[in-house]
Amino acid sequence: DAGVTQSPTHLIKTRGQQVTLRCSPKSGHDTVSWYQQALGQGPQFIFQYYEEEERQRGNFPDRFSGHQFPNYSSELNVNALLLGDSALYLCASSLLSSEKLFFGSGTQLSVL
């Protein structure tokens, strides 16, 4: 049983560019949450998707957007990249009815 998979594992972009990160949830899960983890800090909640709609959102600007597909996989898009967007981006999947999150290994984004 595959767990949560994220791609790519590493990514280097320059300021002003746009990036798309991808996540495939654990089999049977219907909810995907995205987190940003800056170096030396705890993960910060970006948003959560369920039934292809954004269900909850953290304190992140509109430059951060997402999408969930009918197969429950998800994308995180970040526009107009800033140096401060450099971080590990974590995807977590769950069942809407469960409090337990399963995390992927993350995508390390570096903005130069």
Partner 1 sequence: AQSVTQLGSHVSVSEGALVLLRCNYSSSVPPYLFWYVQYPNQGLQLLLKYTTGATLVKGINGFEAEFKKSETSFHLTKPSAHMSDAAEYFCAVSDQTSYDKVIFGPGTSLSVIP
Binding site for partner 1 (CB under 8 A): 4, 31, 33, 35, 40-45, 48, 56, 58, 90, 92, 94, 96, 98-101, 103-106
Whichever of 14 and 56 has its CB closer to partner 1, that residue is 56
Whichever of 4 and 78 has its CB closer to partner 1, that residue is 4
Rounded to the nearest whole angstrom, what is the least distance from the CB of residue 48 to partner 1 in the complex? 6
Let me know: does 9 contact 109? Beta carbons within 8 Å.
no
Q: 46: buried, middle or exposed (CB in 10 Å: 19+, 13-18, 0-12)?
A: buried
Q: What sign does the dihedral 40-45-49-54 (CA atoms) show? A: negative
Whichever of 7 and 41 has its CB closer to partner 1, that residue is 41
